[in-house]
Chains A and B, each alone.
Chain A
Amino acid sequence: MKVLVVVVLVLVLVPLAWAGHELTFYPAFYPQEVSVRWVEPRAAAPLLRKNALHAYAGADPLAGAPSEKVRYAESLRGWVVLTFARPTGDAEARCAAGAALVRALGPRAPFVAHPWPVTPYHDDYVQQYDLVQRARERSAGAVPRVRAAGPLKSALTAAGVGVAPDAEAVVEEITLSSLLDGVETRLAGWHGPAWLKEGWFQAWLLEAPALPPAAREAAEETFRRRADGAPLPAAERVNLERRLVGQATAGCERVVLGYTLRHEALDDDYNEGVENIAVDSQAGVASPIFLRTVKLKDFPWNGWLHVGVEGGARSAWNPIAGFTDPAGRVIWAAVGDPALLLDPDNARFVPNRARVQSIEDAGSVPADALVPVAGELKPAGEGVAARTKIVYRSLLSNLHDGQPMTVADILYPYAFVSRWGVSGARTYDPEVERATAALRQALAAVRVVRVDTETRTVEELKLTYQVPLVEVYLKTAVDPRYAPALAPPWSPVPWPVMALMDQAVERGMAAFSEREARRRHLPWLDLVRDPKTGAALARLVSDFERRAWVPEALRGLVTPEQARQRWRALAEFHRRTGHFLLTAGPYQMGRVTPASATLPVFRDFTYPLGVGSFDQYAIPVRAYVRAVERRGDRLAVQADVENVEKAGRSYKIVREPFTPKPPGEATREALAVHWTVVGPGDEVVAAGASRDVQGGRLVVDLTGRVKPGLYRVILALALNGNLVNPEVTVVAYRAGG
């Protein structure tokens, strides 16, 4: 195989005389340093009051003692459910018991009453809105005796509901994070499953454990059909999702009473506070988008950001199956750079270091494409079939050890998962198998087409980037909304770190996952905080450098001399920093104490994204339906939109009638109306989203989409893609006949 030339990133300083005082590109994001401190809410309260914390990921430290200078970021925390231990009798009674509990609690309910698992914090809410309303109409039955604890117990007791430890039904909060534990993929730079934030998926995770076997079997079939990722007509897909949620909730073995919201504290002090904040609608502050937008008010950019996180930092710090607790998530969100980011305001992904150029039908896999097999990358040869080809641009940069990333760095993870994700192999970790199941099932081959040189001129700087164009071949046809997230060519850590972890685990020094570490009585691999493992890793690196060792998967991609150079750089990095968490992310691992980690920014001009790159995600805005007018077979939607007016260190949101923007005034996403047409039998006959603006109104064209009959059309507007807690409008629509 041809040896690919090492990709070199170049920063050229062109001696031009015309630069002004204003440099307009600063690599990485606003704060110059992020310190993450794991601290319980009670201890966080005084820190917030004296501006020693700017944000707190967790429960409100000031609950009951609000401060004027603290404001809150809201996100979905979980659901409050009534679960019957041994459901017997008719479902109707159980459903009615749930309604009775909510009625009994009334305004005392420490949650938002909402009788359906798909909530306004899911972007498929608009497609299930009618089902939510129907669930609201359930009549209340007898109030059951329940078990409960904490604030729920207090509220129930205050409402006169019998709370007893021997009751057969329990009222409890199930948090979203607990639901996704063991389900979410956060391995290396990959994030999944692709429908991670969608309501139907989370509803299934919530309800499935409470289903009796027969009901579960039937629902599982629906789930499998929906989750195979195949492209389906919108109405068929939506009907599958509605059916799944309907099947999962029909027996009322677990009745959703409502949902809870997380209110996370942010310092809003004029001088010491923070602004320009995006938080994920479901993950809240502990999400990558927060660190990529937050700005200290006293600094146009730069400054020292202090983030508190509830709970300790118990999980090991490794990018394969570590960073699993909130502190770990925040740290990895800063240090690791994923291929794609979750859109904070809907369920989709947005480009980060891997950017989709096109999605096409594959035809066949080129013979020189690489197929990951048992830890190697083998030429596909003739006859490998694929249905989908996704072409990506991967944004390389320098690593924190100063070495430029190469295509070997972004190809190695494919080999890695084929080595560690296959049950029965000598090298196997069940967590890697679980997290990469969808990828391994879908991936046919990968091919580096070429490496482009791209330049950016910033004042007197001419920045030159190397951008590989990579084709990823998938075995099946995949819904284009999900395809980019399945197997993007990217790695937040370079191949030497992946290979080092691989060798360390194979040699029994540690295990990637907590579960496997427990099973094998090994340390959970920690690249930063375990001195014993660190010393053992250092010995390995030294040996690899001496031998100029090239992992099997990279033979032909990396020469021994190139490998020696990378091992040498990694050894030097470890000597300098004391750890092996070498990445190409926007922040670097700095000083670590038993209670905190300090993460200095990586303002290296090879880093391709800059301060403000995600500004359009800060301060989400909404749109509202003012009026809907029927024009033949079309609905014309008149809208109001919110506009952010910034003022010094604050802003206000003003609501104004929608007028189309001129083409040059690009926004993150044009105003869209999401629509669902529901027939008399509650079946969805058509669904979609329209950005078609005619005469200042958004147009939903139903021509030829529905048969004669009476329908309900559910409408919700998304401005800048924001589908969080939308205002929903339902209009009656009679077609033909």
Chain B
Amino acid sequence: MAEVNRRDFLTGLGVSVGASLAALPGLPSVGVAHAQGTPKGNIPDHPYKIGHMTFFTGPAAVLGEPMFKGQQLAAEEINATGGLLGKRKIELLKADENAGTDANVKELRRLKLSEKIDFFCGITSSGNTPALGPVAEDLKCLTMFVDGCTDFLFDKAVPNPHYVFRTTNIQSADGITTALAIVQTWPKSKRIAHIHPDYSYGRNAFDHIKIVMKKMMPQAEVVSEGWPKLGTTDFSSHITKAISSKPDLVVSSVWGGDYVAMYKQALRYGMFQKAKFATTLALGVAPHALGKDHPEGVIAGVHSNYHFTYPGGDKWPLNKTFVEKYHARFNEYPNFQAEGAYTTTYMLKTAIEKANRLVGGWPDDDAIIAMLEGMMMAGPAGYVYIRPDNHQGYKDAMIGFSKNTDEYPFPILDPARIITIPIRSITAPPGWPKGEPTSTFTWIDKTWPTAKV
């Protein structure tokens, strides 16, 4: 593969700092202001039942509760205008994903068969989407997963989806996004230390960071690998190992409470003075889940595609309005799950309205599905596109640098240094053969050029 200039290649990918979104006219967007006029045909007035399953208890509730709130906010807005097609109020039925995979499968069946839900939504865990996806197909239950982002869902568990969709980016985007942010920001780093959790997400992040670096920073070498075992609370051996390898940069995909424990221990060792630091998930939980002692200037991943401060100010009114409404309703700031569920609900609404315009009356699920396939919608995070071939939602990825401000009691992303990446540039294109560990990995490996040192 020919060598290229790194800066030129990044420009070609569309990696940019501080870019703002441009409105594309004619596309549907979230919000009831865009509700259609009088629907065609006879519309029933009984509630439209949505089964929302996510974590309401346990460690993942920090993700799940905002997810439900995002859908709740959208449902309240839609109901305030009369409901879907002005007639059918949305009724949300909650189910706790913390019940376990087997119980979740049973609950989905119960929701569909006994509660007669019209639509199934939610799901945080990547352990659950591959189990629930086939069941939803079997039940012919129109489903949009908000998260559960494993590539496995549409690669293998539901390779030919009809009823099942997912709106959140796939997992491989996390590692690639962080890697490209490193390439963009600290391209001359040579000595890289890694600390990743010793389970598949950590390995996935490591693989994808490494393959991007191999292409874009060929001078870089991995000088240390730390793989904290599951349940690790003492990260000191991994931190000191990383420091002793004298790295220019430490990269980590540790998440949640483990990440907080790790960075607070790293503070004690002065790790952030000794090396630069990049993460896939520092801000990838919920805005309030991180303390202000978190180091500033760290590349802080947000699980690929949303942090409430971007697009900021008045540059993208859909986000400004969403954040204001969400905060007014729930007295907190939304995370990526909240945005995902909010946008998902409006995608459903839009699909129903479009289908109604085509067929009149209340559209059947197949008509709604046809409208969802290939839909592009403007949401708070920007545009989300549902690829018709695999029912996967794609949003442009974004990442930034942690910063403390007086405005918030937690760190945010520095508004002046947001890095955005078109999702098409970091995802294997349609038709690319399935690969290991992921199709995107093999696509990068086989098609990206190597940058000149």
Partners in one complex: yes
Which A positions have Cβ atoms within 8 angstroms of B?
16-27, 30, 32-33, 270-271, 298-303, 456-461, 600-601, 603-605, 610-613, 615-616, 645-650, 652, 662-666
A24 B98 Cβ-Cβ under 8 A: yes
A664 B93 Cβ-Cβ under 8 A: yes
A459 B199 Cβ-Cβ under 8 A: yes
User: With the chains together, A271 CA to B150 CA distance in Å?
Assistant: 32
A32 B115 Cβ-Cβ under 8 A: no
A19 B200 Cβ-Cβ under 8 A: yes
- Chain B residue nearest to A616 (CB atoms) is B57
Q: How far is the CB of B255 from chain A (nearest CB, A)?
A: 5
Which interface residue of A18, A457, A459, A665 has the most chain B CB atoms within 10 A? A18
Q: Does B360 contact A (CB under 8 A)?
A: no
- Chain A residue nearest to B102 (CB atoms) is A457
Q: Does B219 contact A (CB under 8 A)?
A: no
5 interchain residue pairs of minimum CB distance: A20-B126, A603-B231, A301-B257, A612-B58, A18-B152
- The 5 listed contacts between A and B (C-beta, < 8 Å) are A20-B147, A20-B148, A20-B150, A302-B261, A611-B58
User: With the chains together, A456 CA to B101 CA distance in Å?
Assistant: 8
B201 touches which of A20, A301, A456, A610 (Cβ 8 Å): A20
A22 B332 Cβ-Cβ under 8 A: no
A303 B95 Cβ-Cβ under 8 A: no
- B residues less than 8 Å from A30 (CB atoms): 257
Q: Does B230 contact A (CB under 8 A)?
A: yes
Q: Does B293 contact A (CB under 8 A)?
A: yes
A664 B95 Cβ-Cβ under 8 A: yes
- A residues less than 8 Å from B257 (CB atoms): 26, 30, 299-303
Give the interface residue-count category, chain B.
35 or more
User: With the chains together, A21 CA to B261 CA distance in Å?
Assistant: 16
B126 A22 Cβ-Cβ under 8 A: yes
Q: Does B110 contact A (CB under 8 A)?
A: yes
B261 A303 Cβ-Cβ under 8 A: yes
- Chain B residue nearest to A276 (CB atoms) is B61
- B residues less than 8 Å from A649 (CB atoms): 288
Known contacts being A601-B233, A615-B58, is A16 close to B65, with CB within 8 Å? Answer: no
Interface residues of B in 260-305 (CB under 8 A from A): 260-261, 264, 280-281, 284-293, 303
Known contacts being A20-B149, A22-B255, A303-B257, is A457 close to B59, with CB within 8 Å? Answer: no
A664 B110 Cβ-Cβ under 8 A: yes
Known contacts being A300-B289, A601-B233, A648-B331, is A22 close to B63, with CB within 8 Å? Answer: yes
A662 B331 Cβ-Cβ under 8 A: no
A18 B230 Cβ-Cβ under 8 A: no
Q: How far is the CB of A355 from chain B (nearest CB, A)?
A: 16
Q: Does B333 contact A (CB under 8 A)?
A: yes
Q: Does B62 contact A (CB under 8 A)?
A: yes
B127 A20 Cβ-Cβ under 8 A: yes
Known contacts being A299-B257, A302-B258, A460-B199, is A32 close to B63, with CB within 8 Å? Answer: no
Q: How far is the CB of A304 from chain B (nearest CB, A)?
A: 9
Known contacts being A19-B126, A22-B125, A648-B332, is A271 close to B291, with CB within 8 Å? Answer: yes
User: With the chains together, A299 CA to B288 CA distance in Å?
Assistant: 10
User: With the chains together, A664 CA to B99 CA distance in Å?
Assistant: 11
User: With the chains together, A600 CA to B62 CA distance in Å?
Assistant: 24
Interface string of B293-331 (1 = CB under 8 A from A): 100000000010000000000000000000000000011
Interface string of B208-234 (1 = CB under 8 A from A): 000000000000000000000011110
Known contacts being A601-B233, A649-B288, is A18 close to B58, with CB within 8 Å? Answer: no
Interface string of B81-100 (1 = CB under 8 A from A): 00000000000011111101
- A residues less than 8 Å from B151 (CB atoms): 17-18
Interface residues of B in 108-147 (CB under 8 A from A): 110-111, 114-115, 124-127, 129-130, 147
Q: Does B402 contact A (CB under 8 A)?
A: no
User: With the chains together, A684 CA to B107 CA distance in Å?
Assistant: 43
User: With the chains together, A21 CA to B199 CA distance in Å?
Assistant: 9
A615 B261 Cβ-Cβ under 8 A: no
Beyond A299-B260, A613-B58, 20 additional pairs, beta carbon < 8 A: A18-B130, A19-B127, A20-B147, A21-B253, A21-B280, A21-B284, A23-B199, A24-B98, A25-B58, A26-B59, A301-B257, A303-B261, A603-B231, A646-B65, A647-B331, A647-B332, A663-B114, A663-B115, A664-B94, A665-B94
B230 A605 Cβ-Cβ under 8 A: yes
Q: Does B351 contact A (CB under 8 A)?
A: no
- A residues less than 8 Å from B199 (CB atoms): 19, 23, 459-461
User: With the chains together, A529 CA to B119 CA distance in Å?
Assistant: 60
- B residues less than 8 Å from A27 (CB atoms): 231
Q: Does B256 contact A (CB under 8 A)?
A: yes
Known contacts being A18-B200, A24-B127, is A300 close to B285, with CB within 8 Å? Answer: yes
Q: How far is the CB of A610 from chain B (nearest CB, A)?
A: 7
- A residues less than 8 Å from B13 (CB atoms): none
Q: How far is the CB of A538 from chain B (nearest CB, A)?
A: 27
Q: How far is the CB of B338 from chain A (nearest CB, A)?
A: 12
Q: How far is the CB of A205 from chain B (nearest CB, A)?
A: 37
Q: How far is the CB of B126 from chain A (nearest CB, A)?
A: 3
User: With the chains together, A353 CA to B126 CA distance in Å?
Assistant: 29
- A residues less than 8 Å from B60 (CB atoms): 22, 24
User: With the chains together, A300 CA to B62 CA distance in Å?
Assistant: 7
Known contacts being A601-B233, A664-B107, A664-B115, is A20 close to B331, with CB within 8 Å? Answer: no
A17 touches which of B65, B100, B200, B332 (Cβ 8 Å): B200
- Chain B residue nearest to A31 (CB atoms) is B233
Q: Does B44 contact A (CB under 8 A)?
A: no
- A residues less than 8 Å from B95 (CB atoms): 664-665
A270 B409 Cβ-Cβ under 8 A: yes
